[in-house]
C-alpha cells in the first residue's frame, strides 16, 4: 500500500502521453523543423546585399509574378468550377454519378509527372484539345494555369461538397416560403453558408499551386522571363550547384506561403466567428 501512495500522481488517466508526444515532437523536429531551419541557416552565409540581389534578380521577379498569377487564376477557376461540380454532384441526378464523383479525386491519386505529360500532350498545338484552338495553350502561362487547375480541383470540390450536403432543406424552404426567388435563396441563404468552405478550398488549392512542380514543368515550356515558375528556378540553380541562390529563392517562397496561409486562416477565423455569433 505504501509503495502505491508514494507513486507520483498520474497527470493523465489515458496512458501514452509522454510516449506519443515525445515521439511526435522528435519525428517532426528531425524531419520537418531541422530540415526547414536549414533553409534559413544556409541563407545566413550570405550578406544582405547578396541576398537581395539574388531574390530581386529580374528573372526571379518574373517567376514570382508568374507563379503567383497563375496560382491565383487557377484557384479562382477552381472556386468557380469546383463549386458548380460540388453543386451538381450533391443536388442533381445523372448517369454514372458515383464514378464521376470518384474521378474528382484523380488529381490526388495520379502522380504529378503523369498528369504533366498527359496534359501537355493534350493541350500541345498538335494535341487533341490544343489543335481545336488557334492560339497556343501549352508552353504559355495558360498551360501552367491548366496544370494548376487540374492539381487544385479536388480541394474546392471536397471542402464544399459536405457543407452543401449538410444544408438542411428546411432553411431553403423557409427562404422560399418567405417569398425569395431561387436565385435570391442561393445568394442570400446558401452562398453565405458555403463561403467558409469555398475559402478553405481556395486557400488549399492556392497553396498547393504556388509550390507545384511536377505537373507544371512539362506544360510550362520553361522560358526564362516568360514561362519559368519559381520552383523551377530553384531546380535550375541546384543543377548548377548554386546552393546559395536556390536557398535564397526558397526563403522567399517559404515566407510567402507562410504569410499567405496565416492570412487566409485569419480570414477564415473571422468569417467563422461571424457565423458563430
Partner 1 sequence: MSIQIQNVSKRFGSFQALKDVSIDIQSGELIALLGPSGSGKTSLLRVIAGLEASDGGDILFDGQTITNRHPKERNVGFVFQHYALFRHMTVFNNVAYGLKVRPRKTRPSKEKIKDKVMELLQLVKLENFAERYPTQLSGGQRQRVALARALAVEPKVLLLDEPFGALDAKVRKELRRWLRKLHDEFHITSIFVTHDQEEALDVADRIVVMNNGQIEQIGSPDEVYTHPKSPFVYDFLGNVNLFKGRLHNGHLTHGEFTIAVPDSYAHTQEDAVGYVRPHNIQIEKTAVSGTVPAKVSHIHLLGPIVQIELRRKDVDEYLEAELSKEQYHTLQLKVGDEVFVKPKELKVFIPEDFSI
Partner 2 sequence: MEQSTSNEQATPPKNAVASTSAALQEPRFIRYSLTFIALAFLAFFIVLPLVSIFITAFQKGAAVYFAAITHADALSAIKLTLIVVTIAVPLNAIFGVMAAWALTKFNFKGKNLLLTLVDLPFAVSPVIAGLVFILLFGAQGLFGDWLFANDIKIVFALPGIVLATIFVTLPFVARELIPLMQAQGTSEEEASISLGANGFKTFWYVTLPNIKWGLFYGLILCNARAIGEFGAVSVVSGHIRGMTNTMPLHIEILYNEYQFSAAFAVASLMSVIAILTLIIKDIVAWKSKSV
Interface with partner 1 (CB under 8 A)? 1, 4-11, 13
Yes or no: say if 215 and 115 are a contact pair by the CB < 8 Å rule.
Answer: yes
Closest distance to partner 2 from the beta carbon of 153 (Å): 6
Selection from 189, 156, 167 nearest residue 86 by Cα: 156
Number of shown-chain residues binding partner 2 (CB under 8 A): 91
Please select the residue that binds partner 2; options are 6, 109, 270, 276, rule is CB under 8 A.
109
What distance in Å separates the CA atoms of residue 22 and residue 44, rounded to the nearest whole number? 30
Closest distance to partner 1 from the beta carbon of 265 (Å): 24
Closest distance to partner 2 from the beta carbon of 96 (Å): 10
What distance in Å separates the CA atoms of residue 93 and residue 100, rounded to the nearest whole number? 12
For position 68 contacting partner 2 by CB under 8 A, the verdict is no
Closest distance to partner 2 from the beta carbon of 192 (Å): 17
Burial class (CB in 10 A: 0-12, 13-18, 19+), 195: middle
For position 197 contacting partner 2 by CB under 8 A, the verdict is no
Please select the residue that binds partner 2; options are 61, 114, 223, 267, rule is CB under 8 A.
114
The radius of gyration computed from the CA coordinates of the chain, to the nearest angstrom, equals: 24
For position 21 contacting partner 2 by CB under 8 A, the verdict is yes
Q: How many CB atoms lie within 10 A of CB 102?
A: 11
Please select the residue that binds partner 2; options are 66, 145, 210, 219, rule is CB under 8 A.
210
What distance in Å separates the CA atoms of residue 223 and residue 63, rounded to the nearest whole number? 10
Q: How many CB atoms lie within 10 A of CB 86?
A: 26
For position 223 contacting partner 2 by CB under 8 A, the verdict is no
- The listed partner (partner 2, partner 1, none) that binds 7, CB under 5 to 8 Å by sort, is partner 1
Q: Which residue number, 8 or 277, has a Cβ lying nearer to partner 1?
A: 8
Taking contact as CB under 8 A, which single stretch among the options 54-62, 219-227, 233-241, 267-275 is the one that binds partner 2?
A: 233-241
Closest distance to partner 1 from the beta carbon of 1 (Å): 6
- The listed partner (partner 2, partner 1, none) that binds 104, CB under 5 to 8 Å by sort, is partner 2
How far from the centroid of its chain's Cα atoms is residue 254's Cα? 14
Closest distance to partner 2 from the beta carbon of 200 (Å): 13
| 221 conformational bin, left if phi > 0, alpha if psi -120 to 50, beta if neither | left
What distance in Å separates the CA atoms of residue 81 and residue 198, rounded to the nearest whole number? 11
Amino acid at each position: 500500500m505504501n509503495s502505491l501512495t508514494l507513486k507520483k500522481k498520474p497527470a493523465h488517466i489515458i496512458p501514452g502521453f509522454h510516449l506519443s508526444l515525445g515521439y511526435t515532437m522528435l519525428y517532426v523536429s528531425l524531419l520537418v523543423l531541422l530540415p526547414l531551419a536549414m533553409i534559413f541557416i544556409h541563407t545566413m552565409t550570405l550578406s544582405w546585399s547578396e541576398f537581395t540581389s539574388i531574390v530581386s534578380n529580374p528573372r526571379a521577379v518574373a517567376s514570382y509574378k508568374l507563379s503567383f498569377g497563375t496560382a491565383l487564376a487557377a484557384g479562382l477557376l477552381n472556386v468557380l468550377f469546383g463549386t458548380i461540380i460540388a453543386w451538381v454532384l450533391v443536388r442533381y441526378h445523372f448517369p454514372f454519378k458515383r464514378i464521376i464523383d470518384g474521378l474528382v479525386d484523380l488529381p490526388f491519386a495520379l502522380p504529378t509527372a503523369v498528369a504533366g505529360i498527359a496534359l501537355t500532350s493534350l493541350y500541345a498545338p498538335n494535341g487533341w484539345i490544343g489543335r481545336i484552338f488557334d492560339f497556343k495553350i501549352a508552353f504559355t502561362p495558360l498551360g501552367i494555369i491548366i496544370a494548376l487547375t487540374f492539381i487544385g480541383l479536388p480541394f474546392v470540390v471536397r471542402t464544399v461538397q459536405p457543407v452543401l450536403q449538410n444544408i438542411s432543406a428546411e432553411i431553403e424552404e423557409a427562404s422560399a416560403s418567405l417569398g425569395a426567388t431561387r436565385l435570391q435563396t442561393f445568394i442570400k441563404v446558401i452562398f453565405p453558408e458555403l463561403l467558409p468552405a469555398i475559402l478553405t478550398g481556395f486557400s488549399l488549392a492556392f497553396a498547393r499551386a504556388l509550390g507545384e512542380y511536377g505537373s507544371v514543368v512539362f506544360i510550362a515550356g520553361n522560358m526564362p522571363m516568360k514561362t519559368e515558375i519559381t520552383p523551377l528556378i530553384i531546380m535550375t540553380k541546384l543543377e548548377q550547384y548554386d546552393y546559395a541562390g536556390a536557398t535564397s529563392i526558397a526563403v522567399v517562397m517559404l515566407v510567402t506561403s507562410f504569410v499567405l496561409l496565416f492570412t487566409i486562416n485569419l480570414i477564415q477565423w473571422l468569417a467563422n466567428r461571424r457565423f458563430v455569433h
